[in-house]
Structure 1
Amino acid sequence: MSSSNQAHGTATQQIDALRAEIVHHEHLYYVMDQPTLTDAQYDKLVNRLKALEAEHPELVTPDSPTQRVGGKVKDGFAKVAHSRPMLSLDNAYNEEELRAWAVRVRGALHSSDVLEFVCEYKLDGLSLALHYGAASHGSAHLQRGVTRGDGTVGEDVTGNVRTIRTVPLSVNAEKLKKAGLPQTFEVRGEVVMPKAAFARMNAEREAAGQSPAANPRNAAAGTIRTVEPSIVAQRRLDYYAYFLLRDGEFLLPTQSETLDALAAAGFLTNPHARTAKTIEEVLAFIAEGETKRDALGYEIDGIVIKVNSVAQQRRLGFTGKAPRWAIAYKFPARGAVTKLLNVLFQVGRTGKLTPVAALDPVGIGGITVARATLHNPDEIARLGVRIGDYVAVERGGDVIPKITEVVEDTEHPRGTREIVFPTLCPKCKEPVVREDGEIDFRCVNASCPARLSEELLHYASRGVMNIEGLGEAMVAQLLGHPLNDPVSLADVEAQDAPMSLDVRDAEMLEESNDTTADEPTRTALVHTVADLYRLTADDLLKLERVGPKTAESLIAQIDRSRSAPLYRVLLGLGIRHVGERTAQDLADTFGSLDAIMTATEEELVRAEGIGPIVAKTIVDYFSIEKNRALVEALRAQGLQFTAEKRVVGTALAGLTFVLTGTLPTLTRDEAKARIEAAGGKVAGTVSRKTSHVVAGEEAGSKLDKARDLGVSVLDEQGLLDLLK
């Protein structure tokens, strides 16, 4: 053997050994919660592996621990049909409803059948399917991660799923044998954000001037659909597995055996699952779970009860939307009655006035609730609530404080003070308007200091220009006045999912709606976001509690943001209805900010993902002289105003493709991107309108359906020939 071959062999052995060691310690840390290495020792192993893979790039494999975080998802998420519908569960809200379900189950089975249940915590997250396929040395590697979607078709979020440490990138032959699993299988489970990670994320959001996420479930859902896997990696998510399938059918005879096999294969399963032979045992488990829920590191909102036998599950079957063999027992909402002391108004980035209820502090589920959002005038009218009323408050989703109704009896007299929206902005005293067809009142003064502070915080936030160090305290100093709003409710119209006010301990609030304070004002250093780029370290050193290191760091962060891509600049402008996906679609379609600025509504609606309302908002925004001046000021500061324009060919124009199975050289995303770049469309299901089905190894039911319908079937080479 030559010396180079010997070196290559040694490198392969070293890399394999390092990967196995790292995977072992990841399992101990993330799944078993029994770490044996310090963070520094773990990092040393990973850095050694990275160095070896850099020296031998030909040895890098997709399931290497170094490959968890990939590049940004450029074209959204491909649609993927599920092998078996991911159905929701029917709910039971009390013992009577649960017993009635058990009677129906018993009645649908043979009298001689032994009936057993499996009880599992109902994790408050989002469902996710993981597909594993055959790899070298008898192992299985992660091929695809798919969201629940509408239950029939989900979204391919594989790049983001790979960053979740409790998702094995591969399962070796030894573990497969121990678990009794084939090399090709599907795992279904729940993605959750632990409470500690949720608290950390919200602290970061607030430091960046963003509104806190409503609850861990919304945070997990928003995270898994972000287009940047690096952000997903920063936010700790966990994946709890509970189903095993192959070709859409359950693999093992019972649910309890399924949970054991998943654990043996290295997946994280909920350790509190338990079998029960009677409904009394089920009820005891429910009572126990309700007492333990606050001490858990994650949110649960009930208990899932499943018939253990898969054979019995088949006999019981399904209703139109849920299995008859499983039910979710929902814990009662945690609430209390307290007094509404006042209503205060928060001015958001777009001028929207949000009413915030100031409550007599009350404990709910171990948390002191002193404030709750009232959303908008329509919600206030629906509730019929007045200041001084006693109101029922619940933590919706066990996190969001919300007023559900007014309580009126001899102990709780009605309040007398109507809630009236101000006619003048509480911050700038300019008129407030409510346009026809709009729910919200808005301050229309573009120079409103409250709007500017929110604009700066939005601009600097991590999901936009990512300027670390530009939080509320710094913005207040740059504007020359304190940010003294009683509640920080950042406008969330451009977010992918709505956010609500999180729970906060707070001092008793004044009875007056006047939220201004007699504070000394200073000369503002910033009047628009463009002024950030004119700041110097000397400017910052004049501010309170700002030293040389802080000043230099912030100036460096601001300067770094000049290189942010066009879609982030668009986000930074704060155009209503333009969120991350819309900004990316605009950048990809038009290729420059100038082209977007001059586009007509008709031209805008022809872009992917742009509807008439969004198109009108964009045109209206750029019709305002102040906004055009801001764009020119940013241009002068050297920000990125161009992007690589997505060019769509015509070779496959008018053709619809369905992808199934594993192709020899192209990933599903790559094949989809090439089809769409040539003008074709990719669908998730086969129909008579399908032009071609592109089938690879282990193609499933889609291939069968294509043959039944007489639809053209291509292999990868056939697709490549069409693309030529």
Structure 2
Amino acid sequence: MTDAQTAATRIAQLRSDLDQHNYRYHVLDEPSIPDAEYDRLFHELKALEAEHPELVTPDSPTQRVGSLALSAFGEVKHEVPMLSLGNAFAEDDLRDFDRRVREGLADELPAGDLFGGGASVEYSCEPKLDGLAVSLLYRDGQLVRGATRGDGSTGEDISVNVRTVRNIPLKLQGTGWPAVLEVRGEVFMSRAGFERLNASQLEQGGKTFANPRNAAAGSLRQLDSSITAKRPLEFCCYGIGQVQGELPDTHVGILNALKAWGMPISRELKLAKGADECLDYYRDIGERRDALPYEIDGVVFKVNNLAWQRELGFRAREPRWAIAHKFPASEELTELLAVEFQVGRTGAVTPVARLRPVKVAGVMVANATLHNMDEVARLGVMVGDTVIIRRAGDVIPQVVQVVLDRRPADAKPVEVPQNCPVCGSHVERTQLIKRSKGRETVSEGAVYRCVGRLACGAQLKQAIIHFVSRRAMDIEGLGDKSVEQLVDEGLIHSPADLYKLTFEQIVELEGFAELSSKNLLAAIENSRKPELARFIFALGIPDVGEETAKVLARSLASLQRIKQALPEVLTYLPDVGLEVAYEIHEFFSDSHNQTVIDQLEQVLDIQGQGELGAEYAASTTLAGLIDKLHIASVGPTGAKTLAAKFDESLEKLLAADWLDLRQTLSEKPANAVRDFFAVAENRDRALKIEAQLRDFGMHWQSEKRVVEGLPLAGQTWVLTGSLEIMSRDIAKEKLESLGAKVAGSVSAKTTCVVAGPGAGSKLAKANELGVKVLDEAEFLKALEGFGIGVA
């Protein structure tokens, strides 16, 4: 055997031994050799690799020292979004969560006992570590990528840095792991590691960190990974993302499998049945919180059964099957020195407390939110008061109470400025309009608003920061400070001015050079053809998030229709309530907004516009229109009776006399209908709504149709059970791209159900109704038939 062969054999043995010792130390907490012996083996391996550099591999234990500094982090799109969790702050919140889970699983749970006790749901219980959420991607057992959570959809590529974290395996232990396995967890810093780091920083004259979370986040996002390698970071796994292969069918089962493959999981992991046992776990770990070697800010409870998780699904950006039960926030006393007012994107003038700096839960706090003037009045706070400050959820500082017996004689009341502190425009109090059957009730709102709109520098800056953000127009290179410079220099006065910027204007700005200026202009140019949904979201319409923007774009499919849409017409769209509908309508009715949108239409080529979504063609009824008029004493049943009586004709209904109405309805609703339409404004509104429905093609007499090029247009699909090749969210996106509507329940109108393992009541309902059912393999084959890839 040659020297090289002998070295290769010894290197392989050392790597195997060190990997096993790492596993026993970090995962099992059962070290098998002293630290000195581990160090001897490590240095022997390092020396052999130095003699034989051709034998060095990326998964060697020696390859955790970091490398040359990066110029920037790349982007990583999460195939399965990294969602946030809903929060519980009180016992009742957790019990409400458990009740919602049981209601959502009513068809899956056993009936319970004879004395009325319902069946309990089994939950996994884990401490909520206070660190930075990361994703680790393994292919064939090898670590190939690490990424931050980012905004949940897109994170930063920190692959080089995660490789330096000692207890993250560079290759998985054992056998049987999936070919593709994305592990998710928290990178954190123990209390002892944090203290050592700060002591080292002080010795070197460096900056100390406020708390372990900030230290962990800052360490993991170092462009120079050799710095990260020196930081005492640890990793704890709490779940998975994308997977190609078999895994256990429970959350705890998956975590135990990951532990067997070398992945550290929480030593506090337990199972609990029902809310009472969850609360017992919460109280127990809360009592031991300060004695734990790391900081936690609560407990995470998850439905343990994965099939039940899939049945419960998601709400907006959070799962219905998990919740974070936060610990009570840390509190401190301090003095309120002043109250200043900030102006936000929508013009809201918000009070901010300026405090005598005080450390709260390890963070120095000098400012706190007061929310609005109603909150100021509720607290009875005055400038000069001693107040109690809390870090809500251990994150956002807020004023929670005034210590009245410490109020000084010269305390001053908090007063809203009459003029905007930024632009000097008038500040007015908003009005709340509550709409109910036949009337509107107007009351004063809690928010004060600057009327300056885009003439106000603060509103303009915030509007443009939102407009250029990643999930809106996605103009890379325009950070908050750059936007502020552009506004302060008078180079932009509306979002449309971004498209008039020149190289000469940008290169003169602080922080810009020739290359970055060219890159910014290229990014602006690349944003000239936004999809309609992105454009709508970028406008920053109050209460219109990404999902509502997608609904507007997919349904009305035209900026012109969206601009014209009446509130009652908008409420025909899914998940658009009356209040949101009025916000949308009022936004597009505002003359300032109309000017800005006109300017944008001149410089942009908005994509994804065309005919009305096929499922909305001829989708309305006269009964539905009557019901949306909110006539007192006339509900959906009365509306249907009127529509049938007058041959689905609004014109005939308006022409009806009292006798016709009385023959159709009882006296009270008949009088209500007569009185309602006796008001000219109400008659005109009803006719205007009908005219728009006809103009849009939504009228009940319009022609039903299917949009060409979308093979599933007009169809309704339902996803249930487990999908192993792709997530249900991705499957939903692919179906929607083909024109299908993806619903959450099965009915006679359902076109097809995609049922994976664990499908329950929805599959049974589909079989009962004779609805077509596909398994995942058949579904993927169908997608490929439409030219849709499954990767």
Tell me which interval the TM-score lies in, with the shorter structure as reference length: 0.5 to 0.7
Aligned counterpart for 1:354 among listed residues 350, 353, 364: 350
- Partner in structure 1 of residue 761 of structure 2: 702
- Partner in structure 1 of residue 373 of structure 2: 377
Amino acid corresponding to residue 411 of structure 2 in structure 1: T
Tell me how far 1:240 sits from its aligned partner.
0.8
Tell me how far 1:341 sits from its aligned partner.
0.8
Tell me how far 1:388 sits from its aligned partner.
0.9
Amino acid corresponding to residue 363 of structure 1 in structure 2: K
Structure 1 CA distance for aligned equivalents of residues 354 and 737 of structure 2: 53
Structure 1 CA distance for aligned equivalents of residues 532 and 582 of structure 2: 20
Mapped contact 2:248–2:254 kept (Cα < 8 A): no
Structure 2 CA distance for aligned equivalents of residues 477 and 161 of structure 1: 27
Structure 2 CA distance for aligned equivalents of residues 427 and 89 of structure 1: 36
Structure 1 CA distance for aligned equivalents of residues 132 and 770 of structure 2: 35
Structure 1 CA distance for aligned equivalents of residues 607 and 235 of structure 2: 34
Aligned counterpart for 2:384 among listed residues 388, 391, 402: 388
Q: Does 2:544 match 1:578? A: yes
- Partner in structure 2 of residue 531 of structure 1: 497
Q: Does 2:420 match 1:420? A: no
Mapped contact 2:89–2:327 kept (Cα < 8 A): no
Decide which moves more: 339-348 or 524-533.
Answer: 524-533
Amino acid corresponding to residue 240 of structure 1 in structure 2: Y
- Partner in structure 2 of residue 628 of structure 1: 594
Aligned counterpart for 1:404 among listed residues 385, 394, 400: 400
- Partner in structure 1 of residue 608 of structure 2: 643
Structure 1 CA distance for aligned equivalents of residues 324 and 346 of structure 2: 41
SS of 1:562's equivalent in the other structure is coil
Tell me how far 1:545 sits from its aligned partner.
6.2
Tell me how far 1:533 sits from its aligned partner.
1.8
SS of 2:391's equivalent in the other structure is strand
SS of 1:578's equivalent in the other structure is coil
Structure 1, unpaired ranges of 5+:
1-23, 48-65, 78-85, 94-117, 129-134, 140-156, 167-173, 197-214, 221-235, 311-326, 482-523
- Partner in structure 1 of residue 582 of structure 2: 616
Mapped contact 2:130–2:188 kept (Cα < 8 A): no
Mapped contact 1:164–1:237 kept (Cα < 8 A): no
- Partner in structure 1 of residue 564 of structure 2: 598
Tell me how far 1:460 sits from its aligned partner.
2.8
Q: Which digits, 9 at most, give the CA deviation of each residue in 1:450-499, with x for residues without a partner?
A: 22222232223333233344344433433346xxxxxxxxxxxxxxxxxx
Mapped contact 2:330–2:360 kept (Cα < 8 A): yes
Mapped contact 1:343–1:357 kept (Cα < 8 A): yes
- Partner in structure 1 of residue 472 of structure 2: 464
1:435-584 mapped onto 2 (5 Å cutoff): 435-437=430-432, 438-446=445-453, 447-480=455-488, 524-543=490-509, 546-584=512-550
Tell me how far 1:544 sits from its aligned partner.
5.4
Q: Which digits, 9 at most, give the CA deviation of each residue in 1:390-416, with x for residues without a partner?
A: 11111111111011111133x565763
Q: Does 2:127 match 1:121? A: yes
Pair 1:194–1:612, CA change in 2 (3 A): farther
Amino acid corresponding to residue 351 of structure 1 in structure 2: G
Pair 1:538–1:660, CA change in 2 (3 A): closer
Amino acid corresponding to residue 452 of structure 2 in structure 1: N
Sequence identity (%): 33
Structure 2 CA distance for aligned equivalents of residues 87 and 445 of structure 1: 36
Structure 2 CA distance for aligned equivalents of residues 584 and 460 of structure 1: 18
- Partner in structure 2 of residue 714 of structure 1: 773
SS of 1:614's equivalent in the other structure is helix
Mapped contact 2:755–2:763 kept (Cα < 8 A): no
Mapped contact 1:692–1:714 kept (Cα < 8 A): no
Amino acid corresponding to residue 127 of structure 2 in structure 1: Y
- Partner in structure 1 of residue 167 of structure 2: none
Q: Which digits, 9 at most, give the CA deviation of each residue in 1:315-367, with x for residues without a partner?
A: xxxxxxxxxxxx99975531100011110000112111010000011111221
- Per chain length, whose mean CA-contact separation is higher, i.e. which structure has more relative contact order (CA < 8 Å, sep 6+)? 1
Structure 2, unpaired ranges of 5+:
1-18, 28-58, 94-123, 142-150, 163-170, 191-211, 218-233, 241-245, 272-279, 306-322, 433-444, 616-704, 707-711, 787-791
- Partner in structure 2 of residue 108 of structure 1: none
Who wins on radius of gyration, i.e. which is larger?
2
Structure 2 CA distance for aligned equivalents of residues 87 and 458 of structure 1: 26
Q: Does 2:90 match 1:36? A: no
Structure 2 CA distance for aligned equivalents of residues 429 and 622 of structure 1: 25
Amino acid corresponding to residue 527 of structure 1 in structure 2: H
Structure 2 CA distance for aligned equivalents of residues 303 and 544 of structure 1: 45
Mapped contact 1:241–1:267 kept (Cα < 8 A): no
Q: Does 2:366 match 1:366? A: no
Tell me how far 1:121 sits from its aligned partner.
2.5
Mapped contact 1:605–1:612 kept (Cα < 8 A): yes
Mapped contact 2:89–2:328 kept (Cα < 8 A): no
Structure 2 CA distance for aligned equivalents of residues 389 and 432 of structure 1: 26
Amino acid corresponding to residue 466 of structure 1 in structure 2: D
Tell me how far 1:375 sits from its aligned partner.
0.5
Structure 2 CA distance for aligned equivalents of residues 258 and 694 of structure 1: 27
Tell me how far 1:531 sits from its aligned partner.
1.7
Q: Which digits, 9 at most, give the CA deviation of each residue in 1:120-167, with x for residues without a partner?
A: 524479999xxxxxx9x9x9xxxxxxxxxxxxxxxxx9988999999x
SS of 1:577's equivalent in the other structure is coil
Amino acid corresponding to residue 383 of structure 2 in structure 1: I
Decide which moves more: 610-619 or 364-373.
Answer: 610-619
Tell me how far 1:386 sits from its aligned partner.
1.0
Amino acid corresponding to residue 701 of structure 1 in structure 2: G
Mapped contact 1:125–1:190 kept (Cα < 8 A): no
Tell me how far 1:269 sits from its aligned partner.
1.3
Amino acid corresponding to residue 445 of structure 1 in structure 2: G
Mapped contact 1:333–1:398 kept (Cα < 8 A): yes
Structure 2 CA distance for aligned equivalents of residues 596 and 450 of structure 1: 27
Structure 2 CA distance for aligned equivalents of residues 552 and 247 of structure 1: 48
Tell me how far 1:535 sits from its aligned partner.
1.8
Number of residue pairs matched by the alignment: 500
Mapped contact 2:723–2:757 kept (Cα < 8 A): no
Pair 1:401–1:690, CA change in 2 (3 A): same
Structure 2 CA distance for aligned equivalents of residues 667 and 605 of structure 1: 30
Structure 2 CA distance for aligned equivalents of residues 302 and 663 of structure 1: 31
Structure 2 CA distance for aligned equivalents of residues 604 and 237 of structure 1: 47
Structure 1 CA distance for aligned equivalents of residues 132 and 514 of structure 2: 45
Structure 2 CA distance for aligned equivalents of residues 620 and 720 of structure 1: 43
Q: Which digits, 9 at most, give the CA deviation of each residue in 1:401-453, with x for residues without a partner?
A: 011111133x5657631111111111222211113213200011131222222
Structure 2 CA distance for aligned equivalents of residues 702 and 36 of structure 1: 51
Structure 2 CA distance for aligned equivalents of residues 590 and 567 of structure 1: 11
Q: Which digits, 9 at most, give the CA deviation of each residue in 1:514-568, with x for residues without a partner?
A: xxxxxxxxxx222222222222122234445654344334333333332443333
Structure 1 CA distance for aligned equivalents of residues 419 and 525 of structure 2: 37
- Partner in structure 1 of residue 669 of structure 2: none
Structure 2 CA distance for aligned equivalents of residues 560 and 328 of structure 1: 40
Pair 1:363–1:267, CA change in 2 (3 A): same
Structure 2 CA distance for aligned equivalents of residues 577 and 428 of structure 1: 25
Structure 2 CA distance for aligned equivalents of residues 335 and 161 of structure 1: 33
SS of 1:344's equivalent in the other structure is strand
